[in-house]
Amino acid sequence: MATDTRERLVEAGSRLFQRQGLAGTGIKQILSEANAQFSSLYHHFPGGKDELAVDVIRASGLHYQQLVETVWDAAPDVVTGVRAIFEGAAAVLEATDYADACPIATVALEVASTNEPLRVATAEVFDAWTHAGTARFVDSGVGAAESRRLALTVIALLEGAFVLGRATRSVEPMASAAEAAVTVVRRALDLVGSPAGSPQ
Amino acid sequence: MATDTRERLVEAGSRLFQRQGLAGTGIKQILSEANAQFSSLYHHFPGGKDELAVDVIRASGLHYQQLVETVWDAAPDVVTGVRAIFEGAAAVLEATDYADACPIATVALEVASTNEPLRVATAEVFDAWTHAGTARFVDSGVGAAESRRLALTVIALLEGAFVLGRATRSVEPMASAAEAAVTVVRRALDLVGSPAGSPQ
DNA sequence: CACTCTCTGGATAGATCGATCCAATCACGA
DNA sequence: TCGTGATTGGATCGATCTATCCAGAGAGTG
């Protein structure tokens, strides 16, 4: 089937780009893993590698967001949800031998200063994540501006822990990041209850 | 002079690897920026690109650590120091048009699952940063285990904000990360003053 | 001056890169 | 059944990649 080949290409690209980066992954390798041919790739993606990469970034970014939202929804409260996200990330990290972390971070850093269309694609994914996270905190009663700060903080902690964790092959950074995330989120929720200034 | 060429190679490699990644940077480009020849590179680094990359990772990792420690030393207290680090990072990000952030993060993600010697080099840099940060918090009276958690958290926030900031071309993630870092550090210092359990 | 060791200039090999081409095949509606 | 557009098989092109080779320049020592 036609759509099938296209999906296999995106899936293979997603796997490889996330672990080896964009420049570090050859088209032949993608074709080999997807059991496809040059003509198929350039039929579905006339723009070649870059056009495939845009699709990969959007698809894997959306997929990861849905995964996180599912975990979040299963938690009884916001703090538990945040903790569950970090625990899930740590579990995946260990289960994949520290290969699978953020699906787009490696490419994002690679293209940030070298490929504007791809940079925009990664920015749109991060923006979508930020908005989704912001909405969650707003739903818990936190103000809009503070909710956005919380969302950016949680995502930054997650991304940073991915970098440290993959490099050092350890989930310790993820555990520390989880504690910090819980601390700042809980503090923001506490301030909602007592809307005066900091209790300091 | 001999050493001069070697230094120029490391410097050029540092600039390019940090912005374009390892696989995204060709040896010819490094030679061009360093005004050097193939023979010079393979004379100083018989192991080729990878051996140069190990030197680049170590040198730029140490250089960045020294930069951060200088900023930290200039601050009157720990909280001010932490904030100054994030403000400095944001300033560099803007000044370099979102090109210069962490000198090794891009390469770290690239090689984490593909090149064990380089992965080890990046891990050693992150370990050195972690130990240096831990020592700072210990000096402020925070317990050893909590100090290490703080150090990992601050580094993760910094790295994550680099990823988000470069991708979205904004210093907003860095500002949010700074607030979060200050919050968790201040909280840890407060607990030193009142060594009972959490005031919750 | 002669010798030696370090370092560089420049050509080139061999492999791999992304991309293109055209004919063949497939699914599917008229 | 025929035709039409979507899709694929497979060879191939030019460019670029990393790495190697060897001759020669340069500095320092006897």
Candidate from B22, B112, B156 with C-beta closest to A173: B156
Q: Can you say whether residue A26 is alpha, beta or left, with left for phi > 0 and alpha for psi between -120 and 50 degrees?
A: beta
A193-A194-A197 Cα angle (round to 5): 140
Instruction: Give the pLDDT of residue B109.
Output: 98
Instruction: Give the pLDDT of residue A195.
Output: 66
Distant-in-sequence contacts of B1-9, Cβ < 8 A, 24+ apart: B5/B34, B5/B36, B5/B40, B5/B44, B6/B44, B8/B34, B8/B35, B8/B36, B9/B34, B9/B36, B9/B40, B9/B41, B9/B44, B9/B45, B9/B52
Q: Which amino acid is at B64?
A: Y
Q: Which residues in chain A have Cβ-Cβ distances shorter than 8 Å to B126?
A: 164, 167-168
Per-residue pLDDT of chain A (200 residues; tens, 9 = 90+): 557 999 999 999 999 999 999 999 999 999 999 999 999 999 999 999 999 999 999 999 999 999 999 999 999 999 999 999 999 999 999 999 999 999 999 999 999 999 999 999 999 999 999 999 999 999 999 999 999 999 999 999 999 999 999 999 999 999 999 999 999 999 999 998 776 544 43
Instruction: Give the pLDDT of residue B3.
Output: 72
Using the predicted structure, report yes or no on whether residue B139 has a pLDDT greater than 60: yes
Do A24 and B166 lie within an 8 Å CB cutoff? no
Cα separation of B81 and B72, whole Å? 5
Do A163 and B148 lie within an 8 Å CB cutoff? no
| Chain C nucleotides near the protein (CB, 7 A) | 6-12, 16-23
Protein-to-nucleotide distance from the CA of A44 to the C1' of D7, whole angstroms: 9
Q: Can you say whether residue B143 is alpha, beta or left, with left for phi > 0 and alpha for psi between -120 and 50 degrees?
A: beta
Dihedral angle sign, alpha carbons of residues A109, A112, A116, A119: positive
Protein-to-nucleotide distance from the CA of A8 to the C1' of D4, whole angstroms: 27
Instruction: Give the pLDDT of residue A200.
Output: 39
Q: Which residues in chain A have Cβ-Cβ distances shorter than 8 Å to B15?
A: none
Candidate from B24, B184, B200 with C-beta closest to A23: B24
Instruction: Give the pLDDT of residue A197.
Output: 47
Q: Which residues in chain A have Cβ-Cβ distances shorter than 8 Å to B173?
A: 152, 155-156
Protein-to-nucleotide distance from the CA of B19 to the C1' of D23, whole angstroms: 37
| Band (B198; pLDDT cuts 50, 70, 90) | very low
User: Nearest nucleotide (C1') to the CA of residue B36?
Assistant: C8
B66-B70-B74 Cα angle (round to 5): 170
> Which of A58, A142, A152, A184 is the mutation pick for testing B, counting most B CBs within 10 A?
A152
Q: Which chain A residue shows the shortest CA-CA distance from B199? A: A199
**What's the pLDDT tens digit per position in B162-176?**
999 999 999 999 999
Cα separation of A166 and B78, whole Å? 28
Do B109 and A166 lie within an 8 Å CB cutoff? yes
Reduced to 3 states, what is the DSSP secondary structure of residue A8?
helix
Report residue A129 CA to chain centroid gap.
8
Candidate from A21, A106, A159 with C-beta closest to B159: A159
Distance from CA of B6 to the nearest CA of A (A): 25
Q: Which amino acid is at A100?
A: D
Angle between helices A116-139 and A78-95 (to 10 degrees): 140
Do B161 and A163 lie within an 8 Å CB cutoff? no
Do A153 and B177 lie within an 8 Å CB cutoff? yes
Using the predicted structure, report yes or no on whether residue B4 has a pLDDT greater than 50: yes
- Spatial CA neighbour of B176 closest among A186, A142, A145, A139: A145
Distance from CA of A63 to the nearest CA of B (A): 18
Does the predicted TM-score (pTM) go above 0.85?
yes
Share of chain B above pLDDT 70, in %: 96
| Chain D nucleotides near the protein (CB, 7 A) | 6-12, 16-23
Protein-to-nucleotide distance from the CA of A37 to the C1' of D11, whole angstroms: 12
Could you say which DSSP state residue A2 is in? H
